[in-house]
Structures are given as structure tokens and as C-alpha cells.
Amino acid sequence: MRSKLRAVLEKATGESVQQLREMSISDRRNMLDARGQQMTIVSRKPVIGRGSVLTDRLVSHEVVEAQLAEALRK
């Protein structure tokens, strides 16, 4: 799975993952600015951001059993 994610990132950006890791964020910003690609800041609430990660949820019988077994082992 990791190699597939790497392949998608490399194909989309045209750079290797190593290059993506090594270039600083400000250098990348400068590079994109020099190409005439202006960054737009948008808001995507409530899809992302604080509170977007579901923590309270219904859990299945199997999950409850697994949690109980884990707790009893401790």
C-alpha cells in the first residue's frame, strides 16, 4: 500500500518522494510562485478541521468483545 501511495504522489507531482521530503515548504512555495501558480486558501469545514475526526461512534459486538478481552488480559 505504501508503495502505491508513493507512486501516486510521484506521478502527480513529477518529483520523487525523496525530493518532496527534502525541499523546504518555503522553497516549494517560492518555486510554485515563480511558475505563476498562485495558491488559494479555502475553507472546507466541516469536512475537515477540528472535530472532523469521528471518535464517538457505535461499536459492533465483536469490537466490544475484543476490547473486553484486551482489558482482561491486562
Partner 1 sequence: MSGEDVWPPHAPQRRPKTLLELFQFYSDYLKPIYAYMQTRNVMASELLVEVNAAFDHLSRLWVYNEPEAHVVAKVYSHLKRACLDIFKLRLVETTDNYKKLCRLDVSLVDNGRYKGAMISAHMDIERLATLARSGEGDVRQDDHAAVRAFDLWEPVFLKCAEFDEQFYAHPAVYWSDAEIERKKRKGLKIAFGLGFLASLAATATVALISLLVSTLA
* 6: helix, strand or coil: helix
Answer for which of 1, 34, 71, 72 binds partner 1 (CB under 8 A) is 1
10, 17 contact by CB (below 8 A): yes
- Name residues contacting partner 1, limited to 50-69 (CB under 8 A): 50, 52-57, 67
Helix (H) or strand (E) holding 23: none
Sites of contact with partner 1 (CB under 8 A):
1-6, 8-9, 11-13, 15, 17, 20-21, 23, 25, 28-29, 32, 37-45, 47-50, 52-57, 67, 70
